[in-house]
Amino acid sequence: MALSGLEIYKHLPKTNCKKCGLPTCLAFAMALAGKKTSLDKCPDITDEGKSALDAASAPPMATIEIGTGDNKVEVGGETVLFRHEKTFFHETAIAVKVSDNLQKDEIAARVKQIEELKFERVGMQVQVNLIALSCDSGDAQKYADVIKEITLSSKLPLVLMSENAQVLEEALKVCAETKPLIYAATEENHEKMQSLAKQYNCPLVVKAADLEALATLSQKITSAGLTNLVLEPSPGDIGSRLKDFTKIRRLSLKKNYRPMGFPVISIIGGKDPMEQVVEAALSITKYTDILVIDNVKPEEILPLVTLRQNIYTDPQKPIMMEPMLYEVGTPNENSPVIVTTNFSLTFFTVQPEIEGSKIPAYLLITDSDGLSVLTAWAAEKFTAEIIADAMKKAELEKKVSHKKIIIPGYVAVLSAKLKEESGWEVMVGPKEASALPKYLKESWQ
């Protein structure tokens, strides 16, 4: 159980030295109880106090790493139930399933399809993260051979899916250094599975028929010294899975219940592709950390990675573009100059409309801390002075032979002041980006 602030306080040095960044030891104790700081911030804590407080300072949900190098995936480590309370840290890792029963060329083609599931959205690359290789053949040698082939053509980390410890032992002999996720330890096989996970230092999925059995099994495995776990409650239908996932998240974050303090995995497969997409979307929203699906078509994956990106961006940090002068098409000295803010969605709404107009232009992006036009204007982060300063820094006078700048219609009120600050003629563009092509054709050309 989590310790209260006062219980933590008893184990602190009580010198109020402020080295931890807080004014008193009591303030530090309260912050530690609320998971808002970590024990290592107090340099003067005794070994005795440290061990007494380990339980309170440990994160409520473990962070688990799968894979190595640039493609390494981290899941778990969450601290809040709802994104608006703070942020979510590690987005749901999406794994696409491959069966070892496929022919060699079919496996190669499927892996290639998985590798190509990469998309660019609001300036960021989004993609699937893992390959889940299911041992449907039951043949350990065949499974190990397929792993060798896959690791030659893909660097995506693997989920090794078999409940047969012998199969997994052969598999780990050929790929343990890539740190795959082992799926799965059950009540029947957990001793063999946990010793494999320990020997090869790989994370392990623990599955059980219900939450009580899952907690008991998780406790058994952690007391054997393994802490790199992922939980899978009974598969059931989507409704019962969401209930179980919510209970696990609440037990770990609100009750600090250690057996449930791990990320969760959801296996969705063998259904109609669209049904899988719907279930996968629901699972991403609550609270799946690793999702295994059969879908491999871009049109089925794109909605999932888009939803995931929307949920897992930090609500306190808007997605921003670098403030600078962008060229859309190949502008020349007669091209229009359009100014807007550095909120990513604004940029990626305006830029394609200019492209669509077939009129090359300069797009001047100012630093508005990632706020959209009206919000930035209201917060005084998109003012005439800021725009004039950005125009000067971009050396617009060297780029174009005219002195006209187009501002968003929503901030028409800035026209006179901007003219005064910059000495340029200010043209008021449309309020909506979708009206830009018509505006440029009619008002610029």
Using CA atoms, how far residue 15 sits from 8, 47, 326, in Å, is 14, 16, 55
Binding site for ligand SF4 (CB under 6 A): 12-13, 15-20, 22, 25, 28, 42, 44
Backbone angles phi, psi at 140, to 5 degrees: -60, -40
Would you say 234 and 210 are in contact if contact means Cβ atoms under 8 Å apart? yes
CB nearer ligand SF4, residue 17 or residue 379: 17
- Which residues is 96 bridged to in the sheet? 131, 293
Where does residue 351 rank: exposed (0-12), middle (13-18), buried (19+ CB within 10 A)? buried
* Strand-pair category, 404-407 with 118-121: unpaired
CB of 48 to ligand SF4, least distance (A): 14
CB nearer ligand SF4, residue 18 or residue 392: 18
Please count the other Cβ atoms lying within 10 Å of the Cβ belonging to residue 295: 21
CB nearer ligand SF4, residue 47 or residue 188: 47
CB of 349 to ligand SF4, least distance (A): 48
CB nearer ligand SF4, residue 20 or residue 64: 20
CB of 43 to ligand SF4, least distance (A): 6
CB nearer ligand SF4, residue 9 or residue 200: 9
Q: Is 86 helix (H, G, I), strand (E, B) or coil?
A: coil
Where does residue 241 rank: exposed (0-12), middle (13-18), buried (19+ CB within 10 A)? buried
Would you say 179 and 199 are in contact if contact means Cβ atoms under 8 Å apart? no
CB nearer ligand SF4, residue 23 or residue 315: 23
Q: What is the C-alpha to C-alpha distance for residues 235 and 295, in angstroms, rounded to an integer?
A: 18
CB of 22 to ligand SF4, least distance (A): 6
Residue 360 amino acid letter: P
CB of 20 to ligand SF4, least distance (A): 3
CB of 6 to ligand SF4, least distance (A): 14
